[in-house]
Amino acid sequence: MQEPLQQPRAFTKTGTHVNYEVKGDVAVVRINDPNSKVNTLSIQMQKELTDVMNEVWSNNAVQSAVLISTKPGCFIAGADINMIEGCKTAEEVTQLSQEGQNIFEKIEKSPKPIVAAINGSCLGAGLEFVIACQYRIATKSKKTVLGTPEVMLGLLPGAGGTQRLPKMVGLPSAFDMMLTGRNIRADKAKKMGLVHQLVDTLGPGLKSPEERTIEYLEEIAIECARGIVNKKIPLSKEKGMMQKLQDYIMSFEMVRNQIYKTVHGKVMKQSKGLYPAPLKIIECVKAGIEQGPIPGYLAESQNFGQLAKTTESHALIGLYHGQVTCKKNRFGAPQKEVKTLAILGAGLMGAGIAQVTVDKGVHTILKDTTVSGLARGEQQVFKGFNDKTKKRNITSFERDSILSNLTGQLDYSGFEKADMVIEAVFEDINIKHKVLKEIEAVIPPHCIFASNTSALPIKEIAAASKRPDKVIGMHYFSPVDKMQLLEIITTEQTSKDTTASAVAVGLKQGKVIIVVGDGPGFYTTRCLAPMLAEAVRVLQEGVDPKKLDALTTGFGFPVGAATLADEVGLDVAAHVAEDLGKAFGSRFGGGNVEVLKTMVDMGFKGRKSGKGCYVYQPGLKVRDVNPDIEEILEKYKMTPNPAVSSDSDVQYRLVSRFVNEAVLCLQEGILSSPVEGDIGAVFGLGFPPCLGGPFRFVDAFGADKLVEKMRRYEEVYGNQFTPCQLLLDHANDSSKKFHK
Amino acid sequence: MVMPWALEMTLARPNVKNIVLVEGVRTPFLLSGTTYSDLMPHDLARAALQGLLHRTAIPKDVVDYIIYGTVIQEVKTSNVAREAALGAGFSDKIPSHTVTMACISSNQAMTSAVGLIAAGQCDAVVAGGVEFMSDVPIRHSRKMRKTMLSLNKAKTLGQRLSLLGSIRLAHLSPELPAVAEFSTSETMGHSADRLAAAFGVSRVEQDEFALRSHSLAKKAQDAGLLQDVISFKVPGRDIVSQDNGIRPSSMEQMAKLKPAFIKPHGTVTAANSSFLTDGASAVLIMSEEKALAMGYKPKAYLRDFVYVSQDPKDQLLLGPTYGTPKVLERAGLTMSDIDVFEFHEAFAGQIMANLKAMDSDWFAQTYMGRKSKVGTPPMDKFNLWGGSLSLGHPFGATGCRLVTTVAHRLQKEGGQYGLVAACAAGGQVSDTHPGGVFWLIVLLKNK
């Protein structure tokens, strides 16, 4: 890097979060929040930034500025959520938004060019900050991602994002970014025109790679800032043919209106109108483009304020906090790290567990009993990584070296080195016992035995064990590589270290973890079973599967009840319904188990068998209702009671049984906190995210109102709708809330 | 046999034969696409072998084995050692094989020769290397190849026609030799630029080093010091007797070039990188006993060598730093004992980065598990007759040039010990790498 010709004036100013140093004629503004792992635009950060920028603008020796974070892996991860939550009224939040808009407007209009040098996450308000700057340089680090995730918190980019982004990347890309909230990697950001220049990450040198990379980025950004001042680097890029064409097309109001309409339609279809934020985002963008900046910015700040006070936003922010909680190991560090993990059964689950383990540097043994089963499982793992190669997330070399950690086998060789064994064999207590005994004969004394069962009580499995303190349940959800939840089940005998180790493995696999007590169906399966029983009753009452799906998705479930049953597998559902029915008695009744059993007997096991409630044809997305089930439903027909059969009543019948069972789990101590209950229901079972989980739903909806509905259903159907004691307590005392 | 001089004893190892370099030659190294452009790789290798035969006058049946190194293989002559040896008139009873190990392929050929002699298998081995970048194998696409291979097996006209009909325009796009490291998809130049940045090597430092290389090479060439170069009558063309890539420029001229790999802020340019080169080299290695018995006056002992390898992404070109202390420790020497250094110059930035790494206590402690820094070779002993940046770098042939140059410099400068370091770094554009980095260090004792 060339040093400036004139002698640099040593000039620095140091705050706790922001400091700046003048290098020649360039002010280098460095941000780093000393109290947090990530930088957020907190009140303190904003204040110091404003102070520093004012100095930069008034300092005559400074021609340009570079904005950089010295925190490894993070530029600015977003606004401070606590700051938004701390506001009492929508007006206060609107005020916050306007303050942000004002700061960034000054940045945008800065007479001295500001170069944002981005390394690590640049999200939300962080992104809004950099797009107000005149120039952006980003490192190619895997940690460098840009995005506007506000929509996932039920909010919108409230500091100018809805106004600047469409101008920068075009209407379609801007909508895509703001409505999905997805992260964009540096190389993609460059292609989109979101950043101007990319910088490589550096390896070992005279300093640590991370430190030197940030320094290198700074050096390049400084040169760049000088280049802009000297007019060597143009700020406006010559537009390409495609860009010009797109701009031309977009200049027609009719075309733009068509886009708004299409996007609006898509949002409505996907969100069922249950999420206000995406609609508000469209509104703000439209206001800015069609009516100009003043109405645009006003719409943005007002909508931001309103959204922050919606129950949906509270629910989503609650989930965000819950997720953070469930990504920590509250049982401490395990005595021994799991370096070799053996998985029994190379089926969908077993192979899925292998897939999320093998790329974490853990030697993974995948054992099956047949060559064909093993080959299928190994292919599933290979395909998972090969797909990543095709998407260029990893190179083929990385894929191969990851897979070198996987050993597929039919025998127990190497199990003497296993630190943990997870069994994913058939759900039959006798088979589980047989496997457990075989395993305990070959594994070392410290090795943990985990069962990936979805309903069998761990206590019963552990009954056959010589060391029940090392037995635990690890309930994964299918497909394992997509579903974030892991439900860990401990018995009274499970040792704390065993739990700590299971949680550590789950966290390594990237899971969100809830730890629950033992019992039939644990937490998740137990909540789902009554809802599915109700769904079967609804079908028996003559509602067709498509209508049932529409009612459930209309309530906010991402997957309809009939489709969900097909996905889980009707055989599994029948099995679970029968088991839990035995354990819990008539409360788990409702639909006739024989309906499911008959379907299974006829070979309708759901998606995996090609037929279930629906008929699945490879390559076809549209699916028809399985015509053969009409006969079955006709045979088990029930007459609906019109008093409790409106669309809304059907929805609440399904949901109230789910919620009541969840609350009962908390009452019985299966759950240790409402947070885990919410996270488990949303991430494992698809409980509507906009409701934030069963417990937050009760808080927002009102326990008394829910109890009132349940009493009405109870009159018709009996004890399946009897509210549990804890729910009644909350209904009787409106000051009682699950979430403070 | 007890040697008369004491110091020699410390380097000679018990029960291992003394192995000597008798002679080393090379064809002139030419920019790709110049006078050699119509040849094939074995033509160049043959020229080097004939040059060696001529210089040493060794009977054609005395040699026990011939080994050649090469990187980009011509598929027609995959065992280029054998084709070249037969063409050069060596006895057809002499077995030959070809090795590949990226840019240290001919180093591998030489150390294989040393191994054969030490193991008592052979007494005289010819080792060499060749690279021919004027023509590289460009293949049909995988889809096209598959169709063509199926076509061979097609039995009926109908089958053939349907296969021919399946060819699409996309099938016709050719596949060039990999321009990148297979494991990381990163080109060598890109890697060198990142390495230079990691060690804070400036553009000016790189240009200065490149200028030094060219100036020293020019001086050596003018003074007639590059005795290993033989004259070669290129079929259909003139006699070539000089390297043609030596071009001392000025700092101003070099500063005008744009970065070649990382744009716009990179520091590695065409002027401070080695260029694509055609050339071949050959050396005669013998047991000391045999050499003396045949009346040769060996140029140097080949004492010791070590190969190391690192992470192919971030430490691809850092071999010298790791390899140098290792070989010195094996031989019981220190940096100050070495009189002549010859380091392969893939990129000026890579050399400078290594010099900085060798000079850093932090690097030595953090990455090498050493207490203190390796130490840098003094520049007045370092690559005094130019290097790969100026003389050229035919990937497979450079190793032999380095070893021969050390021997000649020891003779000329009157030193005792020489050290060669060659890393598996690619050329400017195109090279295939086995992954990892390999370093060869040969200690030579002036005879």
Least confident of A111-125, A544-558, B334-348, B416-430: B416-430
Helix (H) or strand (E) holding B61: none
Residue B389 resides in a domain: yes
With an 8 Å Cβ cutoff, are A204 and B356 in contact?
no
Query: CB-hemisphere CA count at 13 Å for A467?
Result: 14
Residue B275 resides in a domain: no
With an 8 Å Cβ cutoff, are A397 and B353 in contact?
no
Give the CATH number, domain containing residue B324.
Answer: 3.40.47.10
pLDDT in tens, A323-336: 999 999 999 999 99
Nearest to A75 by CA among A23, A33, A132: A33
CB–CB of B114/B305 below 8 Å?
Answer: yes
The pLDDT of residue B401 is: 96
Nearest to B430 by CA among B137, B169, B198: B137
Helix (H) or strand (E) holding B169: none
Substitution target from B194, B311, B362 for chain A, most A beta carbons within 10 A? B194
From residue A12, alpha-carbon distances to A46, A52, A66, A216 in Å are 19, 10, 14, 20
| Closest-approach residue (CA) in chain A for B435 | A397
Contacts of B376 (CB under 8 A, 6+ apart): B335, B355, B358, B359
With an 8 Å Cβ cutoff, are B314 and A207 in contact?
no
What is the mean predicted confidence (pLDDT) over B281-285? Answer: 97
Q: Is the pLDDT of residue A475 over 60?
A: yes
Nearest to B305 by CA among B402, B218, B184: B402
The share of chain B scoring above pLDDT 90, in percent, equals 63
Number of other residues whose CB lies within 10 A of the CB of residue B324: 26
Q: How far is it, in rounded angstroms, from Cα A155 to Cα A149?
A: 9
Q: How far is it, in rounded angstroms, from Cα A438 to Cα B160?
A: 57
The pLDDT of residue A702 is: 96
The pLDDT of residue B175 is: 81
CB–CB of A222/A228 below 8 Å?
Answer: no
* Highest-confidence segment of A3-17, B108-122, B170-184: B108-122
Contacts of A680 (CB under 8 A, 6+ apart): A485, A487, A514, A516, A523, A524, A671
CB–CB of A169/A193 below 8 Å?
Answer: yes
Q: How far is it, in rounded angstroms, from Cα B107 to Cα B398?
A: 8
Q: How far is it, in rounded angstroms, from Cα A150 to Cα A313?
A: 10
Residue type, A259: I
Give A200→chain B minimum CA distance, Å.
7
Give B355→chain A minimum CA distance, Å.
11
With an 8 Å Cβ cutoff, are B200 and A203 in contact?
no
The maximal CA–CA distance of chain A, rounded, in angstroms, is 93
SS (H, E, C) A220-261: HHHHHHHHHHCCCCCCCCCCCHHHHHHHHHHCCHHHHHHHHH
State how many domains chain B has.
2
The pLDDT of residue B416 is: 86
Torsion of CA A142, A143, A148, A153, to 10 degrees: 120
* CATH number belonging to the domain at A524-732, selected among 3.40.630.30, 1.10.1040.50, 1.10.260.40, 3.40.190.150: 1.10.1040.50
Write down the mean pLDDT value for chain A. Answer: 93
- When pLDDT is cut at 50, 70 and 90, the band that residue B5 belongs to is very low
Q: How far is it, in rounded angstroms, from Cα B314 to Cα A209?
A: 9
Residue range(s) defining the domain that contains residue B165: 139-175
Query: Does residue B157 share a domain with residue B193?
Result: no
Residue spans of the domains in chain A: they are 12-308, 340-519, 524-732
Residue ranges of alpha helices (H) inside B73-199 are 80-87, 105-118, 142-153, 157-165, 188-198
Residue B378 resides in a domain: yes
With an 8 Å Cβ cutoff, are A395 and B353 in contact?
no
Does B361 contact chain A (CB < 8 Å)? Answer: no
Tell me which residue in A204, A220, A224 faces B198 most closely, judged by beta carbons. A204
Does B315 contact chain A (CB < 8 Å)? Answer: yes
Query: CB-hemisphere CA count at 13 Å for A284?
Result: 33
Q: How far is it, in rounded angstroms, from Cα B93 to Cα B113?
A: 17
The pLDDT of residue A14 is: 65
Residue B243 resides in a domain: no
In the three-class reduction of DSSP (H, G, I as helix; E, B as strand; rest coil), residue A209 is classed as: helix
The pLDDT of residue B3 is: 40
Contacts of A209 in chain B (CB under 8 A): 198, 314
Contacts of A187 in chain B (CB under 8 A): none
CB–CB of A245/A238 below 8 Å?
Answer: no
Phi/psi at A159 (nearest 5 deg)?
-125, 50
The pLDDT of residue B414 is: 86
| Closest-approach residue (CA) in chain A for B203 | A1
Q: B416 or A104: which carries more pLDDT confidence?
A: A104
> Which tokens go with A100?
């942000």
Q: A274 or A9: which carries more pLDDT confidence?
A: A274
| Angle, helices B188-198/B348-358, rounded to nearest 10 degrees | 40
Residue B399 resides in a domain: yes
The pLDDT of residue A569 is: 87
Give A219→chain B minimum CA distance, Å.
10
Does B360 contact chain A (CB < 8 Å)? Answer: yes
Query: Does residue B220 share a domain with residue B143?
Result: no
| Closest-approach residue (CA) in chain A for B194 | A202
Give the single-character DSSP code of B317: T
Substitution target from A137, A139, A190, A200 for chain B, most B beta carbons within 10 A? A200
Q: DSSP letters of A310-367?
A: SHHHHHHHHHHHHHHHTTS-TT---SS---EEEEE--SHHHHHHHHHHHTTT-EEEEE
> Which tokens go with B182?
């297979």
Tell me the CATH number for domain A340-519: 3.40.50.720
Does B362 contact chain A (CB < 8 Å)? Answer: yes
CB–CB of A226/A26 below 8 Å?
Answer: yes
Q: Is the pLDDT of residue B208 over 50?
A: yes
The pLDDT of residue B447 is: 46
Give A311→chain B minimum CA distance, Å.
48
User: Which residues, in sequence order, are bridge partners of residue B374?
Assistant: none
Give the single-character DSSP code of A427: S
Q: Is the pLDDT of residue A622 over 90?
A: no
Q: Determine whether A469 is exposed, middle or buried from the number of CB atoms within 10 Å of its CB (0-12, 13-18, 19+).
A: middle
> With the C-alpha atoms ordered A215, A216, A217, A221, is the resulting torsion angle positive or negative?
positive
CA A69 distance to own-chain centroid: 26
ipTM of the complex: 0.89
Residue B408 resides in a domain: yes
pLDDT in tens, A42-98: 999 999 999 999 999 999 999 999 999 999 999 999 999 999 999 999 999 999 999
Nearest to A629 by CA among A653, A606, A651: A606
What is the mean predicted confidence (pLDDT) over A680-704? Answer: 96
Does B373 contact chain A (CB < 8 Å)? Answer: no
Number of other residues whose CB lies within 10 A of the CB of residue A601: 12
Does B393 contact chain A (CB < 8 Å)? Answer: no
The pLDDT of residue A131 is: 97
- When pLDDT is cut at 50, 70 and 90, the band that residue A137 belongs to is very high
Instruction: Please give the angle made by the CA atoms of A722, A724 and A727, to the nearest 5 degrees.
Output: 115
Place of tokens 């004792």: B445
pLDDT in tens, A337-364: 999 999 999 999 999 999 999 999 999 9
Torsion of CA B148, B154, B156, B160, to 10 degrees: -20
Q: Is the pLDDT of residue B9 over 50?
A: no
Query: Does residue B211 share a domain with residue B360?
Result: yes
Residue B39 resides in a domain: no
Place of tokens 């979805």: A454
Nearest to A570 by CA among A548, A592, A534, A597: A597
The catalytic residue positions of A are 487
With an 8 Å Cβ cutoff, are B264 and A207 in contact?
no
Using a CB–CB cut-off of 8 Å, the residues of A that contact B are: 1, 197, 199-209, 212, 216, 220, 223-224, 395, 397
Query: Does residue B358 share a domain with residue B315?
Result: yes
From residue B322, alpha-carbon distances to B353, B375, B440 in Å are 13, 11, 11
Q: First vs last Cα of chain A: how many Å apart?
A: 55
The catalytic residue positions of B are 103, 393, 423
Count chain A–chain B contacts defined by CB atoms under 8 A. Answer: 63
Does B178 contact chain A (CB < 8 Å)? Answer: no
From residue A167, alpha-carbon distances to A98, A243, B203 in Å are 20, 12, 38
Q: How far is it, in rounded angstroms, from Cα B425 to Cα B428?
A: 9
CB–CB of A142/A89 below 8 Å?
Answer: no
Contacts of A208 in chain B (CB under 8 A): 366
Residue B436 resides in a domain: yes
Place of tokens 């598990």: B369
Residue type, A62: V
Q: DSSP letters of A33-61?
A: -TTSSS--B-HHHHHHHHHHHHHHHH-TT
Contacts of A205 in chain B (CB under 8 A): 195, 197-200, 353, 356-357, 363
Q: How far is it, in rounded angstroms, from Cα B84 to Cα B86?
A: 6
Tell me which residue in A197, A216, A224 faces B197 most closely, judged by beta carbons. A216
pLDDT in tens, B409-434: 998 998 888 999 887 643 222 233 33
Q: Determine whether A276 is exposed, middle or buried from the number of CB atoms within 10 Å of its CB (0-12, 13-18, 19+).
A: buried
What is the mean predicted confidence (pLDDT) over B91-97? Answer: 96
SS (H, E, C) B220-274: HHHCCCCCCECCEECCCCCEECCCCCCCCCCHHHHHCCCCCCCCCCCCCCHHHEC
Beta strand segments in B321-438, E? 340-343, 417-423
Does B5 contact chain A (CB < 8 Å)? Answer: no
pLDDT in tens, B355-398: 999 999 999 999 999 999 999 999 999 999 999 999 999 999 99
**Does a cis peptide bond (omega within 30 degrees of 0) precede residue A479?**
yes
Torsion of CA B212, B214, B215, B218, to 10 degrees: 150
Write down the mean pLDDT value for chain B. Answer: 88
Burial of A509-542, coded b for 16+ CB within 10 Å and e otherwise, reads bebbbbbbbbbbbbbbbbbbbbbbbbbbbbbbbe
Contacts of A212 in chain B (CB under 8 A): 197-198, 200
Substitution target from A202, A222, A232, A398 for chain B, most B beta carbons within 10 A? A202
Query: Does residue B381 share a domain with residue B333?
Result: yes
Query: Strands A448-451 and A420-423: what pairing?
Result: parallel
The pLDDT of residue A11 is: 52
pTM of the predicted model as reported, rounded to 2 decimal places: 0.90
Tell me which residue in B262, B313, B366 faces A203 most closely, judged by beta carbons. B313
pLDDT in tens, A234-256: 887 777 787 788 888 888 889 99
Tell me the CATH number for domain A12-308: 3.90.226.10
